């Protein structure tokens, strides 16, 4: 039953209707062993365009690009390092994997013709098309997947998404010495390419990838993982050509500067990434998959100022803007008319509280305090006033775009605004351990964080405790403070103002200093009296112990509940910045991953969320929506399940 279900879901790509005959640089004969080891006669050489393998013979400059507003990538253009949206929306056009996720999040074949699991979801039998070529003219083979996936795991400390392959047999041996600690925000750009002679021996390739032939391989897993198909459909696991690797088995610096693969687009020329300006892509004529380009090319224009990109969109100087500025959210529908789309994205936002005993989700005191802060937040008011309803107040820990999301669940009372219950929960915590300290809410100057002022005011009013808002220049500075801790008086001005009364915000009005870079430090509430809820048994003028609270977000790589719950809340999760660990929750994750259908798994994950709604390892805030606008010159704009435009479908006059 499982095999039939999966084949029906994936479909099988037809081999007819090819756009052009692929270039054949030489013989393709090789055995399975050579495919695994990379011994391949199809390496780049005398084919046309060898000076830049990604440029096809006879390519000429194009001018009718679809121009797209973009943030310049801050890392290499590799599928496995593209953990941010700015990079991944480029790499997913240059590279294709076994399958891709369509606008509904359904798995559709690309390179694969079949991905068939056994009944226990521990072995996946995979077949790929025999007639596909990288844009350098070399054949796409099963061995390319074995080489690429092993490289990802060998560099797990800088390739965060390597953990999606953790179930593959031999993962620990291949990742030896490079595992990512839970909650670690790896830097995908940190890896370097050492000089010849200084490179240690490579760890073995993944034992669980068994190459049967050029077009056939099997993946052996150490445990049941029935969502493995969705995992490998993410752009992260697209294969690289053998020529991407140097003689030491590392991805070469020259390849990362001018990367190429098997995808609907490729770089327009050598040096197509013009730093600080743009990156141009043209259709890859060797691509025969379902994402064939319907335009003459994509030009990603790099903007530092989103207001500037929106102005260019309004004057048709820009074709597509998929990150409209907050200032435009109230007016863009009237200004652009029918040339807009809104879509609930896969992004969830939440508050992260300190990893200290006072807020531990494993203790009664910690759970009461977390619940009190959550109950203090009027999410609907913030969504309306600061986001023009472009966020949806959270009802649980996963986005509405995934199967299993339930907006009607009744066990999420802690996520509903309730002043009386907030005060009572804080008082209950104080009976266990009297409160001494202050909450420090972080805002980031280069992000839309005006709402933080209002959230601080709501918490201060509800709990009667000192709450300050402190600005950070960027998220890197915030993460440094969250990791290293902050000292009493952190962010205080040299002449601190007298704290205001509870419920009365000192200094600027909420949201009035957006992006100013000033510390909002005179926002403290007057301490309550000893013995009362929120009381501070601290002498006047003394510096309070600060507890840093900050907003963060998560965007999964595939549309499944596990793609949220495992990385964020498993003890081994790469996004587990809260340090959360609950054995009962871990057991439920294991059962859900072994479920034979996504529907069955969603019920188990639903029950697992009941534990999270009690412990509140993070405090869910809202689900984000995407607002996209386009010019009068383009048509055919469709959004995928994450709210990202499917650029290959856009047409331009």
Q: DSSP per residue over 270-284, as a string?
A: TT-EETTTEEEEEE-
The answer to whether the beta carbons of residues 44 and 136 sit under 8 Å apart is yes
- Which is more confident, 140 or 496? 140
Phi, psi of 171 (to 5 degrees): -55, -45
- Which is more confident, 185 or 270? 270
**Segment (H or E) for 124:** strand 123-128
CATH superfamily of 97-177+202-250: Dipeptide-binding Protein; Domain 1 (3.90.76.10)
**The residue to which tokens 């601190």 are assigned:** 496
The answer to pTM > 0.85 is: no
- Looking at residue 271, its pLDDT comes to 92
Reading the block at residue 173, the tokens are 């041996």
- Which is more confident, 63 or 159? 159
Q: From the centroid of its chain, how far is CA 561? A: 14
SS3 call for 517: coil
- Looking at residue 55, its pLDDT comes to 52
What DSSP line would sit under 428-455, residue for residue?
HHHHHS---SEEEEEEETTS--THHHHH
Nearest to 128 by CA among 151, 103, 149, 145: 145
Reading the block at residue 552, the tokens are 């963060």
Give percent of the chain with pLDDT exceeding 90.
66
> What digits encode the pLDDT tens for the residues 418-427?
999 999 999 9
Is 368 a residue whose pLDDT tops 70?
A: yes
> What digits encode the pLDDT tens for the residues 149-189?
999 999 998 898 899 999 999 999 999 865 544 444 333 33
d(CA 62, CA 326): 34
> What digits encode the pLDDT tens for the residues 587-600?
999 999 888 888 89
d(CA 148, CA 249): 10
> What digits encode the pLDDT tens for the residues 44-57?
332 333 345 555 44
Is 504 a residue whose pLDDT tops 50?
A: no
Nearest to 141 by CA among 299, 57, 34: 34
**Segment (H or E) for 66:** strand 66-70
SS3 call for 469: strand
- Looking at residue 542, its pLDDT comes to 64
Q: Spell out a b/e string for 22-33, using b for 16 or more CB atoms within 10 Å of the CB, else e.
A: bbebeeeebebe
Reading the block at residue 158, the tokens are 């800088």
The answer to whether the beta carbons of residues 398 and 564 sit under 8 Å apart is yes
d(CA 69, CA 620): 30
Q: What is the DSSP letter of 414?
A: G
- Looking at residue 476, its pLDDT comes to 87
Q: What is the DSSP letter of 349?
A: E
Q: Spell out a b/e string for 625-639, using b for 16 or more CB atoms within 10 Å of the CB, else e.
A: bbbbbbbeebeebeb
Write the Ramachandran bin of 621: left for phi over 0, alpha for psi from -120 to 50, otherwise beta: alpha
Which long-range CB contacts under 8 A does 250-254 form with residues at least 24 apart?
250/151, 250/193, 250/194, 250/199, 251/78, 251/151, 251/193, 252/193, 253/193
How many contiguous H segments (helices) and E segments (strands) does the chain have? 17, 20
CATH of domain 63-95+263-339+631-652: 3.40.190.10
Sort strands 298-302 and 546-554 into parallel, antiparallel or unpaired. Answer: unpaired
> What digits encode the pLDDT tens for the residues 370-410?
999 999 999 999 999 999 999 999 999 999 999 899 989 99
352 Cβ neighbours under 8 A, 6+ residues apart: 482, 549, 550, 551, 552, 577, 578, 618
According to CATH, where is 3.10.105.10 located in the chain?
A: 344-486+544-625
According to CATH, where is 3.40.190.10 located in the chain?
A: 63-95+263-339+631-652
Query: What residues are paired with 251 via a beta bridge?
Result: 245
CATH of domain 344-486+544-625: 3.10.105.10
- Looking at residue 647, its pLDDT comes to 98
CB atoms within 10 A of CB 276: 8
d(CA 73, CA 559): 24
């Amino acid at each position: 039953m499982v095999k039939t279900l999966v084949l029906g879901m994936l479909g099988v790509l037809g081999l007819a209707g090819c756009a052009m005959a692929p270039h054949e640089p030489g013989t393709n004969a090789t055995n399975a062993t050579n495919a695994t080891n990379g011994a391949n006669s199809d390496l780049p050489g005398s084919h046309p365009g060898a000076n830049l393998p990604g440029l096809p013979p006879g390519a000429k400059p194009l001018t009718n690009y679809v121009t797209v507003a973009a943030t310049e990538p801050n890392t290499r253009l590799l599928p496995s390092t593209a953990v941010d949206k700015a990079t991944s929306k480029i790499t997913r056009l240059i590279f294709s994997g076994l399958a891709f996720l369509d606008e509904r999040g359904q798995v559709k074949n690309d390179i694969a013709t079949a991905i068939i699991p056994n009944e226990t979801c521990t072995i996946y039998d995979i077949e790929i098309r025999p007639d596909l070529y990288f844009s350098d003219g070399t054949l796409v083979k099963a061995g390319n997947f074995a080489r690429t996936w092993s490289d990802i795991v060998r560099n797990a400390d800088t390739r965060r998404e390597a953990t999606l392959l953790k179930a593959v047999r031999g993962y620990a041996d291949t990742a030896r010495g490079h595992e990512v600690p839970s909650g670690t925000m790896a830097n995908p750009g940190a890896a370097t390419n050492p000089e010849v002679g200084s490179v240690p021996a490579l760890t073995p390739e993944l034992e669980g990838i068994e190459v049967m032939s050029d077009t056939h391989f099997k993946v052996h897993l150490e445990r049941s993982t029935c969502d493995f198909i969705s995992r490998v459909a993410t752009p992260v696991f697209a294969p690289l050509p053998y020529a991407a690797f140097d003689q030491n088995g590392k991805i070469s610096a020259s390849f990362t500067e001018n990367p190429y693969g098997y995808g609907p687009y490729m770089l327009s020329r050598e040096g197509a990434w013009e730093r600080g300006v743009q990156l141009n892509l043209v259709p890859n004529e060797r691509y025969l998959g379902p994402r064939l380009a319907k335009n003459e090319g994509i030009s990603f224009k790099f903007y530092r100022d989103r207001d500037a990109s929106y102005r260019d969109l309004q004057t048709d100087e820009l074709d597509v803007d998929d990150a409209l500025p907050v200032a435009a959210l109230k007016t863009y529908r009237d200004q652009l008319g029918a040339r807009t789309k809104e879509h609930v994205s896969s992004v969830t936002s939440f508050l992260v509280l300190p990893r200290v005993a006072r807020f531990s989700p494993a203790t009664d005191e910690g759970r009461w305090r977390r619940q009190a802060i959550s109950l203090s937040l009027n999410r609907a008011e913030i969504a309306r006033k600061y986001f023009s309803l472009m966020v949806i107040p959270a009802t649980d820990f996963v986005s509405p775009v995934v199967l299993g999301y339930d907006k009607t669940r009744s066990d999420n009372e802690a996520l509903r605004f309730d002043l009386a219950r907030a005060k009572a929960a804080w008082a209950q915590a104080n009976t266990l351990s009297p409160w001494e300290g202050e909450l420090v809410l972080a805002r980031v100057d280069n992000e839309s964080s005006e709402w933080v002022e209002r959230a601080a005011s709501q918490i201060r009013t509800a709990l009667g405790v000192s709450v300050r808002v402190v600005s950070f220049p960027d998220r890197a500075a915030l993460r440094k403070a969250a990791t290293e801790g902050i000292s009493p008086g952190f962010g205080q001005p040299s002449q601190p103002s007298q704290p205001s009364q509870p419920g009365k915000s000192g200094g600027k009005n909420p949201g009035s200093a957006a992006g100013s870079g000033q510390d909002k430090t005179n926002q403290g509430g007057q301490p309550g009296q000893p013995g009362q809820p929120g009381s501070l048994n601290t002498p006047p003028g003394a510096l309070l112990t600060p507890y840093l609270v900050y907003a963060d977000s998560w965007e999964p790589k595939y549309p499944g509940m596990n793609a949220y719950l495992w990385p964020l809340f498993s003890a081994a999760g790469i996004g587990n910045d809260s340090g959360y660990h609950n054995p009962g929750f871990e057991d439920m994750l294991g059962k859900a991953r072994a479920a034979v259908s996504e529907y069955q798994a969603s019920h188990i994950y639903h029950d697992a969320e009941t534990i999270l709604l009690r412990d509140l390892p993070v405090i869910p805030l809202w689900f984000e929506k995407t607002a996209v606008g386009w010019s009068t010159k383009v048509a055919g704009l469709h959004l995928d399940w994450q709210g990202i435009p499917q650029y290959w479908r856009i047409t331009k006059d």
